[in-house]
Chains A and B, each alone.
Chain A
Amino acid sequence: MPDLVPDLAPTPGQTIGPFFHYALPYAGDCQLVDPGAPGSIRLHGHVYDGHGVGLPDALLEIRQADPAGRVPTVEGSLHRDGRFTGWGRCSTDRLGHYWFRTVEPGPTRDGGAPFFAVTVFARGLLNRLFTRIYLPVDDATLAADPLLSGLDDDSRTRLVATREDDGSLRLDLHLQGPQETPFLTYPRHRG
Chain B
Amino acid sequence: MTTAEKLEGGLDTQQVISKEIAAIQAASPAAEPQPRLDFAPYRSSLLRHPTKDLRQADPEGAELVAPVFGQSDVDPLEADLTIQSGGEPIGERIVVTGRLVDGDGRPVRRQLVEIWHANAAGRYIHLRDQHPAPIDPNFTGTGRCLTDDEGVYSFTTIKPGPYPWHNHRNAWRPAHIHFSLFGTDFTQRMITQMYFPADPLFALDPIYQSITDPRVRERLVATYDHDLSQHDRLLGYRWDIVLTGAHATWTEPEGDDRA
Contact residues in A for B45 (Cβ distance below 8 Å): 15, 124-126
Segment 144-200 of B: residues with Cβ below 8 Å from A: 144, 150, 152, 178, 180, 186-187, 189-193
Report the minimum CB–CB distance from A39 to chain B (whole Å): 13
Contact residues in B for A117 (Cβ distance below 8 Å): 61-63, 186
Whether the Cβ atoms of B69 and A77 lie closer than 8 Å is: yes
Q: Once bound together, how far apart are the Cα atoms of A180 and B243, in whole Å?
A: 27
Whether the Cβ atoms of A147 and B57 lie closer than 8 Å is: yes
Contact residues in B for A184 (Cβ distance below 8 Å): 54-57
Contact residues in A for B207 (Cβ distance below 8 Å): 14-15, 126
A140 at the interface (CB under 8 A from B): no
Whether the Cβ atoms of B219 and A112 lie closer than 8 Å is: no
Q: Once bound together, how far apart are the Cα atoms of A122 and B65, in whole Å?
A: 23
Q: Once bound together, how far apart are the Cα atoms of A184 and B255, in whole Å?
A: 31
Whether the Cβ atoms of B54 and A9 lie closer than 8 Å is: no
Known: A14-B193, A19-B124. A109 touches B61 (CB 8 A): yes
What are 10 contact pairs spanning A and B, CB under 8 A?
A9-B33, A10-B243, A14-B208, A19-B118, A19-B129, A70-B259, A74-B255, A75-B72, A77-B69, A186-B244
Contact residues in B for A1 (Cβ distance below 8 Å): 150, 152
Q: Once bound together, how far apart are the Cα atoms of A53 and B70, in whole Å?
A: 38
B37 at the interface (CB under 8 A from A): yes
Segment 142-191 of A: residues with Cβ below 8 Å from B: 146-147, 150-151, 175-176, 180-189, 191
Whether the Cβ atoms of A61 and B50 lie closer than 8 Å is: no
Whether the Cβ atoms of A73 and B128 lie closer than 8 Å is: no
Whether the Cβ atoms of A84 and B129 lie closer than 8 Å is: no
Q: How many residues does chain A have at the interface if contact means C-beta atoms less than 8 Å apart? A: 86
**Pick the contact of B191 from A13, A19, A78, A87 — CB < 8 Å?**
A13
Q: Once bound together, how far apart are the Cα atoms of A105 and B62, in whole Å?
A: 9
Those 8 A-B pairs whose CB atoms lie nearest each other, nearest first: A124-B44, A75-B70, A108-B61, A23-B116, A87-B67, A78-B73, A124-B48, A50-B47
Contact residues in A for B74 (Cβ distance below 8 Å): 78
Q: Once bound together, how far apart are the Cα atoms of A186 and B42, in whole Å?
A: 26
Q: Once bound together, how far apart are the Cα atoms of A115 and B63, in whole Å?
A: 10
Contact residues in A for B219 (Cβ distance below 8 Å): 9, 11-12
Whether the Cβ atoms of B61 and A71 lie closer than 8 Å is: yes
Contact residues in B for A176 (Cβ distance below 8 Å): 47-51
